[in-house]
Amino acid sequence: MSEFPLTNIGIGGHSRFRTNSGHGTPNVVHQRRIAVHIEVEIHHRCSLPHTEIEQVVLRLLLHKCNTFNNGSLTHLLQEPETAALCGKIVKSLVISDINLATPISFWQADLMLHLFRLCDHSPESDFLEADGGGQDQSLPVAEQWELPNTQLQGLWESIILDETIKSRLLSYCATSLQFSERRVNSNIISWNKMILLYGPPGTGKTSLCKALAQKIYIRHCNPTATISTASLHDMISIGPDGNMSLDFDMSTAPINHPTKRKQMVRYRSGLMFEVNCHSLFSKWFSESGKLVMKLFNHISEIAEDETCLTILLIDEVESIASARSSASSSGEPGDAIRVVNAVLTSLDSLKRKPNVLVMCTSNMISSLDEVRKNRGRADYGILFVFLGIP
Ligand SMILES: Nc1ncnc2c1ncn2[C@@H]1O[C@H](COP(=O)(O)OP(=O)(O)OP(=O)(O)O)[C@@H](O)[C@H]1O
Ligand SMILES: [Mg+2]
């Protein structure tokens, strides 16, 4: 690490760090602190421990950023003075989900570094055997995505939505995982680890679920290193010209290392199962009950490992309801009830696992609106989110 030019940082002469209190120090004490999430993609070939990578990133930010706003900081890695080292360690740096119109000043920021490596694998199809009309058939019932996945990177930022929707989704998932981790009694606080996005076709429901799965994994996979820029306040010195310099050895920088504090949630791997409701409920309806049980048993086995964040995406969940009504009209109500029961009981037992989140999408706007209007306590802690036409 010694070749990195910023081992002892002296930023004297940088007008961006000029004092703003009139008393020789930045006015950090009275400023509202704002969390800035910085997603740090690590190069595959980099084998440095996370604590060292955090220090490299922090040095870079201290040296180059006077304010923070949403967007990519990857260009900082390509500048001549940083490319030699940072460029080999970090592949991209992105800030997202700041919901403020103006940039956050350096001194207001609580930096949260989320380190991750992307996985290049394409999603795999899960095939299950169905006995259709005397012939054994292999049906693709789910796609299995390894998280965080290259194909999903940048999707979250590309979806244009009211930012409050994105932050509600993120905080619901974070809180759900935290409650699970702490084994909060769901009879006392009603929460269900289930999100239902509904709205007209083409409004980004499926894309948003996939992007959310990726985001949640990145935010929770590794212990997050945090640093409050206010904690650097005592380490500044003011030069005769009135400019400030930060002068300390980065190895003693007050990074709040995750190993030293109690962590919320930590995962070593992440999988998203995108369930194809059409395959489950269309062709050989009498087989659906068995298929559902097979699929959920498979997911359940994977979710046994509590260090694997398991996300279940049930796309077009209304197929279950329409399968039920079509079966009733074709005189197969027994099968329909079995399938719906199989889905509900399997979902129920899956959700009890602390590392499982369920996301559903639906186009049945009017019936869901009705449910929400009359819901009382009947939403059971499910987060309903309507996506309209932008
Ligand atoms: N708000 C948005 N911002 C950016 N892109 C969007 C938005 N909404 C939809 N899209 C794009 O439109 C395409 C269709 O989106 P998607 O399949 O996620 O919609 P959907 O609501 O799941 O549709 P359906 O109900 O037909 O399944 C995707 O390429 C997606 O990126
Ligand atoms: Mg969809």
pLDDT by residue (tens digit) across 284-327? Answer: 556 667 777 888 888 999 999 999 999 999 988 877 666 556 65
Mutational pocket test of ligand 1: of 162, 166, 198, 207, the residue with most ligand atoms within 8 Å of the beta carbon: 207
Give 109-164 pLDDT, tens digit per residue. 888 899 999 999 999 987 777 665 556 677 778 899 999 999 999 999 999 998 89
| Residue 252 pLDDT greater than 80, yes or no | no
Which residue of 203, 361, 386 sits with most ligand 1 atoms within 8 Å of its CB, as the best mutation to test the pocket? 203
Average pLDDT over residues 214-220: 94
pTM for this model (two decimals): 0.84
- For residues 273 and 144, the answer to whether their CB atoms sit within 8 Å is yes
* Higher pLDDT among residues 372 and 268, named by residue: 268
Residue-wise pLDDT tens digits, 347-356: 888 888 889 9
Q: In the predicted model, what is the mean pLDDT of residues 250-269? A: 59
Say whether pLDDT at 7 is over 50.
no
Residues contacting ligand 1 via CB (< 6 Å)? 158-161, 201-207, 361, 363, 390
For a pocket test of ligand 1, which of 166, 206, 208 has the largest count of ligand atoms closer than 8 A to its C-beta?
206
CA of 232 to the centre of ligand 1 (A): 43
Report CA 52 to chain centroid distance, whole Å.
24
Q: Smallest Cα–Cα separation from 55: which of 9, 104, 18, 110?
A: 9
User: Separation of 333 CA from ligand 2 center, angstroms?
Assistant: 28
DSSP 147-185: ESBGGGTTHHHHS---HHHHHHHHHHHHHHHHHHHTT--
